[in-house]
């Protein structure tokens, strides 16, 4: 497939101007762009600028508030519940995470449940905001229902990711960022474009049978939870925890009531909460042991695992390795975008008189 490569700063300037044109305050436009482009840098192409037009359409449909008043509605020394006022998750997320970091400064840890938000890009970006302060960062979010619990024909969960970032010393930081499904929806979209069958275990058809059809989800099927044929109840359980902490604990929607990302689908008429939900955590490492000790041992953990004997032709990776390597390359060499994405960005820019590149 044909791609065109753009420098990070080109895409940054473009997306920032689009967010400004939507009416975002300057600081919010910058924040949203940084969060959005973290996906493109780290190789999670499905969650980056390819989604910019989706955010714009949600805003056009009146489902995103470009000037939200993000506020704390309830708090204790180590917790807060935050109302995102319908804002971009790309803005609400980092603001809520900042509250978690501030709580952790004082109480050792900070935990923030967020309601009335929207999709926040990649979970890893938010978790990594903790690293600079020698904290462990955690980010969860619920998402539009595309996933069938084990044995279910109904789609009741999103891909509900879990991200955990932990600060290392000399070694690169440990960054886990994973959907609780076997494969993220973006990987299905890639298989659709390439007209290739899916690996076994990613999806099921409308009758609940395992399917390798890349269009299975579109045709009444569903994504399957992480775990494969004999373990999907575990992926379902993890996705459920993410949904309950993000949605039920915060007062957001949950399960089948989570608002869709695509503006052409109607909102549920009987919402059980407000908007979409996230859950953030920050733990000061030195609330448990001196930070230098922790980091030295995490370095030892990382080097031990990286040095493991591997099957021929492979190596044992540390969570975050592939994304970090992609980011290093793309910062230097640029970010390749599919032609369809480029055309979509141009059309989005044209709405606001903003040019790409």
To a second copy, the closest distance from the beta carbon of 215 in angstroms equals 19
Kindly provide the b/e burial profile for residues 70-89, where b requires at least 16 CB atoms within 10 angstroms of the residue's own CB.
beeeeeeebbbbbbbbbbbb
**In which residue are the tokens 């591997």 written?**
310
Residue 112: CB minimum distance to a second copy, A: 9
CB of 338 to a second copy, least distance (A): 23
Q: Tell me 225's DSSP state.
A: B
Task: Write down the least CB distance from residue 306 to a second copy, Å.
Answer: 10
Nearer to a second copy, 316 or 331 (CB): 316
Q: For a second copy, which is the closer residue by CB, 27 or 229? A: 229
- Is residue 213 exposed (0-12), middle (13-18) or buried (19+ Cβ within 10 Å)? middle
Q: Which is nearer to a second copy, 53 or 185 (CB)?
A: 185
Least CB distance to a second copy at residue 348 (A): 33
Report angle CA 253, 147, 265 to the nearest 5 degrees.
60
Beta-carbon contacts of residue 169 (< 8 Å; ≥ 6 apart): 292, 295, 296, 298, 299
The residue (of 112 and 341) whose beta carbon lies closer to a second copy is: 112
If the CB atoms of residues 45 and 243 are measured against a second copy, the closer one turns out to be 243
In the bound state with a second copy, the residue whose beta carbon lies nearer, of 53 and 116, is 116
Closest of 233, 147, 221 to residue 184, by C-alpha: 147
β-pair type (3-6, 222-223): unpaired
What is the smallest separation between the CB atom of 40 and a second copy, expressed in angstroms?
21
- Edge-to-edge strand order for the sheet containing 109-117? 71-76, 79-83, 109-117, 276-284, 135-141, 162-166, 174-178
Toward a second copy, which CB reaches closer, 11 or 148? 148
Q: CB neighbours of 167 closer than 8 A, spacing ≥ 6?
A: 130, 131, 134, 135, 136, 173, 285, 291, 294, 295, 298
Rounded to a whole number of angstroms, the minimum distance from the CB of residue 329 to a second copy is 20
Contact in structure between 184 and 177 (CB atoms under 8 Å): no
């Amino acid at each position: 497939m044909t791609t065109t490569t753009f420098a990070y700063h080109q895409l940054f300037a473009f997306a920032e101007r689009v967010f400004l044109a939507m009416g975002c305050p300057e600081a919010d436009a910058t924040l949203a762009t940084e969060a959005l482009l973290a996906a493109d840098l780290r190789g999670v192409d499905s969650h980056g600028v390819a989604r910019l037009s989706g955010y714009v359409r949600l805003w056009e449909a009146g489902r995103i508030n470009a000037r939200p008043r993000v506020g704390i509605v309830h708090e204790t020394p180590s917790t807060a519940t935050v109302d995102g006022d319908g804002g971009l998750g790309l803005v609400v997320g980092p603001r809520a995470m900042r509250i978690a970091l501030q709580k952790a400064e004082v109480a050792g840890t900070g935990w923030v449940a967020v309601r009335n938000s929207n999709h926040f890009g990649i979970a890893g970006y938010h978790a990594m905001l903790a690293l600079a302060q020698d904290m462990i960062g955690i980010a969860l979010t619920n998402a539009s229902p595309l996933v069938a619990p084990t044995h279910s024909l109904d789609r009741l969960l999103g891909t509900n990711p879990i991200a955990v970032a932990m600060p290392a010393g000399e070694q690169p930081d440990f960054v886990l960022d994973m959907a609780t499904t076997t494969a993220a929806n973006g990987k299905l979209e890639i298989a659709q474009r390439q007209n290739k069958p899916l690996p076994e275990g990613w999806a099921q058809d409308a009758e609940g049978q395992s399917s390798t059809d890349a269009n299975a989800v579109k045709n009444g099927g569903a994504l399957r939870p992480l775990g494969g044929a004999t373990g999907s109840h575990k992926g379902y359980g993890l996705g459920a925890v993410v949904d309950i902490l993000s949605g039920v604990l915060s007062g957001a929607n949950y399960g089948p009531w989570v608002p869709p990302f695509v503006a052409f689908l109607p909102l549920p008429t009987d919402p059980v909460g407000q908007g979409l939900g996230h859950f953030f955590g920050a733990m000061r490492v030195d609330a448990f042991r001196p930070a230098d000790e922790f980091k030295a041992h995490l370095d030892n953990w990382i080097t031990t695992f990286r040095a493991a004997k591997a099957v021929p032709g492979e190596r044992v990776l540390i969570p975050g390795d592939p994304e970090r390597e992609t980011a290093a390359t793309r910062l230097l060499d640029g970010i390749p975008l599919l032609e369809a994405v480029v055309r979509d960005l141009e059309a989005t820019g044209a709405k606001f008189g903003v040019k790409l590149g």
